[in-house]
C-alpha cells in the first residue's frame, strides 16, 4: 500500500494526471505542472494521513514513462455523474474496480475507499460550491487508473424561506436595456429567486439569477452585478428611507440592516444609522447561477429571519468614477441610442438605457437626471407590479416595498 501511494504521488507531481486514460504523449503535453488544484499537496497530505511519507524513489515508474511504455491500469468506473449537483453536506462516491485499493481525493484531502467484491465506496464531506474529486486505483502490476468528477454542493444550511421573482423583468420599470458589450450577458441582472438559509453561526442570503455568472473584469467570482439586500425586521411603520447611494430609490420604511456587495466589494452589513456591523463572504456557484452572501448571524442580531421583510435590488457594479455608490447609471433611451458615432460611443456599450439623463462629469452620479432608479430588477410582493413600483415618471424617488418569505 505504501509503495503504491508513493508512486501515485510522484506521478501526479510529474503532471501525468491522466494515467491510464491516454497515451504517454498526452502526459508530455500536460507539462510538469499538476493538472488541477494542488495535486502534489493533496496527495502528499493524503499519504501522510494514511500511510506515511510518500516520497521514495520512483525509478521504475520514471523509467516506464521515460521509455514511453505504460502498464495498463486496473478497471475503474465511477457512479457519480460529472458536473452533478447535491444539496447534501457529504458526497458518497462509489464504483467498480478490480484493484485491491482505491483512494479518493476531494478538495485536497485523501481518503481510502472501502473495496469489497469489486465495488468501492467512500463518503466524504462536501464543501459548498465546487468539489473536485479524483479517484485513483492501483493494480497488482503497478498500473494506475484515475477518474475525475466535479460535484457542486449547494448545501447552504436550513432553508428559512424563499421569494421567487418573475423571469425576464431585468428591465427596471419595463423600459431599460442592457449595455451592448459582451460582458453584460443575457439574464445577468434577472433575479430568479432569493433564499435565506440559517447555517449555524452564519446566515446565507442566496440570490439566483437567470443568466450565466461570468467574471469578465476579474472581480471576486463575478464582475458586472451589484446586489443590495435590505432586511426589515421591525414590523413597524416608518417614513420612506433612502436606499444605498446611487440606487435612486427609497425603501418604504427603514431597514434593520442592509447587506450590499459585488465582485469588487466584500458583502458588508450596515444598519440604518450606517453603523458597520460586520463583513460577510461572497460565494458564487456558477453552475446553479447562485450568488451567496454569507454573513455572521450575530450581525443580524434581533432579526426574526422568517418573519422579516426583504428587498433585493439588482444593479450593475460601477468603478468609483463611473457612478455614485459604485452603481452604474441608467441614461435616457434617446441619448443611449444616439451615442454611437459620438465621443460617447462607450455609453451604449457600457451603460444602461431606457431611463433618464446623460453622462456628465459635473456630478458624482455621472448622470444629469437621477429621478430614474438604477435598479434593474427588484423583488415584488404578490399583487403588485414592478412596472408600477419603478415608475419613476409618476413618483420619484421610487419607493420599494419589502417582501415576505414563502
Q: Which stretch binds Ca ion (CB under 5 A): 19-27, 59-67, 117-125, 369-377?
A: 369-377
Q: Figure out which of the listed residues 372, 392, 400, 402 binds Ca ion, where binding follows CB under 5 A.
A: 372
Minimum CB–partner distance for residue 394 and Ca ion (Å): 16
Closer residue to Ca ion in complex, CB, 195/372: 372
Minimum CB–partner distance for residue 121 and Ca ion (Å): 42
Q: Does 58 bind Ca ion (CB under 5 A)?
A: no
Q: Does 284 bind Ca ion (CB under 5 A)?
A: no
Minimum CB–partner distance for residue 360 and Ca ion (Å): 10
Give the CA-trace dihedral at 348, 349, 354, 356, to 10 degrees: -70
Q: Figure out which of the listed residues 74, 172, 280, 355 binds Ca ion, where binding follows CB under 5 A.
A: 355
Q: Figure out which of the listed residues 357, 375, 398, 402 binds Ca ion, where binding follows CB under 5 A.
A: 357
Q: Does 359 bind Ca ion (CB under 5 A)?
A: no
Q: Does 228 bind Ca ion (CB under 5 A)?
A: no
For the window 384-403, what string marks contact with Ca ion as x by the rule CB under 5 A?
A: --x-----------------
Closer residue to Ca ion in complex, CB, 40/185: 185
CA-to-CA dists, residue 355 to 173, 299, 321, 385, 393, angstroms? 9, 36, 20, 18, 10
- Given a contact cutoff of 8 angstroms between Cβ atoms, the answer to whether 105 and 50 are in contact is no
Q: Does 327 bind Ca ion (CB under 5 A)?
A: no
- Given a contact cutoff of 8 angstroms between Cβ atoms, the answer to whether 151 and 132 are in contact is no
Closer residue to Ca ion in complex, CB, 158/360: 360
Q: Figure out which of the listed residues 146, 270, 356, 376 binds Ca ion, where binding follows CB under 5 A.
A: 356
For the window 287-326, what string marks contact with Ca ion as x by the rule CB under 5 A?
A: ----------------------------------------
Q: Does 373 bind Ca ion (CB under 5 A)?
A: no
Closer residue to Ca ion in complex, CB, 118/168: 168
| Max CA pair span of the chain | 80
Minimum CB–partner distance for residue 164 and Ca ion (Å): 9
Minimum CB–partner distance for residue 331 and Ca ion (Å): 6
Minimum CB–partner distance for residue 373 and Ca ion (Å): 9
Q: Which stretch binds Ca ion (CB under 5 A): 194-202, 215-223, 297-305, 357-365?
A: 357-365
Residue of minimal Cβ distance to Ca ion: 357
Closer residue to Ca ion in complex, CB, 191/269: 191
Residues 164-223, interacting with Ca ion (CB under 5 A): 165, 169, 190-191
Q: What HEC string does the chain produce?
A: CHHHHHHHHHHHHCCCCCCCCCCHHHHHHHCCCCCCCCHHHHHHHHHHHHCCCCCCCCHHHHHHHHCCCCCCCCCECCCCCCCEEECCCEEEEEEEECCCEEEEEECCEEEECEEECCEEEEEEECCCEEEEEEEEEECCCCCEEEEEEEEEECCCCEEEEEEECCCCCCCCCCCCECCCCCCCCCCCCCEEEEEEEEECCEEEEEEEECCCCCCCCCCCCCCCEEEEEEEECCCCCCCCEECCCCCCEEECCCCCEEEEEECCEEEEEEECCCCEEEECEEEEEHHHCEEEEEEEHHHHCCCCCCCCEEEEEEEEECCCCCCHHHECCEEEHHHHHCCCCCCCCHHHHHCEEEECCCCCCCCCCCCCCCCCCCCCEECCCCCCCHHHHCCCCCCCCEEECCEECC
Closer residue to Ca ion in complex, CB, 190/195: 190
Indicate left, alpha or beta for 128 from its phi (over 0: left) and psi (-120 to 50: alpha): beta
Closer residue to Ca ion in complex, CB, 165/195: 165
The count of residues interacting with Ca ion (CB under 5 A) is: 13
Q: Figure out which of the listed residues 129, 316, 367, 390 binds Ca ion, where binding follows CB under 5 A.
A: 367
Minimum CB–partner distance for residue 395 and Ca ion (Å): 15
Q: Return residues touching Ca ion (CB under 5 A).
A: 165, 169, 190-191, 330, 355-357, 367, 369, 372, 377, 386
Amino acid at each position: 500500500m505504501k509503495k503504491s501511494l508513493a508512486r501515485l504521488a510522484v506521478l501526479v507531481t510529474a503532471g501525468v494526471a491522466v494515467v491510464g486514460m491516454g497515451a504517454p504523449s498526452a502526459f508530455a503535453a500536460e507539462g510538469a505542472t499538476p493538472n488541477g488544484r494542488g495535486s502534489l499537496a493533496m496527495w502528499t497530505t493524503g499519504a501522510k494521513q494514511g500511510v506515511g511519507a510518500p516520497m521514495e524513489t520512483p525509478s521504475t515508474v520514471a523509467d516506464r514513462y521515460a521509455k514511453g511504455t505504460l502498464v495498463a491500469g486496473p478497471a475503474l468506473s465511477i457512479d457519480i455523474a460529472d458536473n452533478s449537483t447535491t444539496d447534501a453536506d457529504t458526497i458518497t462516491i462509489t464504483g467498480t474496480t478490480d484493484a485491491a485499493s482505491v483512494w479518493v481525493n476531494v478538495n485536497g484531502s485523501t481518503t481510502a475507499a472501502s473495496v469489497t467484491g469489486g465495488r468501492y465506496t467512500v463518503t466524504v464531506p462536501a464543501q459548498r460550491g465546487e468539489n473536485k474529486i479524483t479517484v485513483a486505483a492501483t493494480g497488482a502490476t503497478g498500473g494506475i487508473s484515475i477518474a475525475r468528477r466535479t460535484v457542486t454542493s449547494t448545501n447552504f444550511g436550513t432553508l428559512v424561506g424563499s421569494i421567487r421573482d418573475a423571469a425576464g423583468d431585468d428591465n427596471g420599470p419595463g423600459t431599460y436595456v442592457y449595455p451592448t458589450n459582451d460582458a453584460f450577458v443575457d439574464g445577468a441582472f434577472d433575479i430568479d429567486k432569493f433564499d435565506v438559509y440559517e447555517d449555524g453561526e452564519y446566515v446565507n442570503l442566496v440570490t439566483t439569477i437567470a443568466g450565466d455568472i461570468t467574471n469578465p473584469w476579474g472581480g471576486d467570482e463575478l464582475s458586472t452585478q451589484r446586489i443590495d439586500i435590505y432586511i426589515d425586521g421591525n414590523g413597524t411603520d416608518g417614513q420612506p428611507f433612502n436606499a444605498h447611494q446611487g440606487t435612486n430609490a427609497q425603501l418604504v420604511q427603514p431597514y434593520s440592516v442592509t447587506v450590499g456587495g459585488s465582485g469588487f466589494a466584500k458583502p458588508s452589513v450596515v444598519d440604518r444609522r450606517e453603523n458597520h456591523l460586520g463583513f460577510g463572504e461572497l460565494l458564487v456557484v456558477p453552475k446553479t447561477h447562485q450568488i451567496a452572501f454569507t454573513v455572521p448571524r450575530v450581525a443580524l442580531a434581533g432579526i426574526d429571519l422568517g418573519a422579516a421583510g426583504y428587498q433585493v435590488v439588482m444593479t450593475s457594479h460601477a468603478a468609483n468614477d463611473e457612478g455614485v455608490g459604485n452603481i452604474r447609471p441608467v441614461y435616457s433611451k434617446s441619448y443611449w441610442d444616439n451615442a454611437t458615432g459620438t465621443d460617447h460611443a462607450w455609453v451604449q456599450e457600457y451603460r444602461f438605457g431606457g431611463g433618464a439623463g446623460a453622462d456628465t462629469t459635473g456630478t458624482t452620479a455621472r448622470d444629469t437626471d437621477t429621478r430614474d432608479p438604477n435598479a434593474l430588477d427588484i423583488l415584488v410582493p404578490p399583487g403588485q407590479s414592478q412596472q408600477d413600483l419603478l415608475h419613476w415618471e409618476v413618483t420619484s424617488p421610487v419607493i420599494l416595498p419589502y417582501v415576505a418569505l414563502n
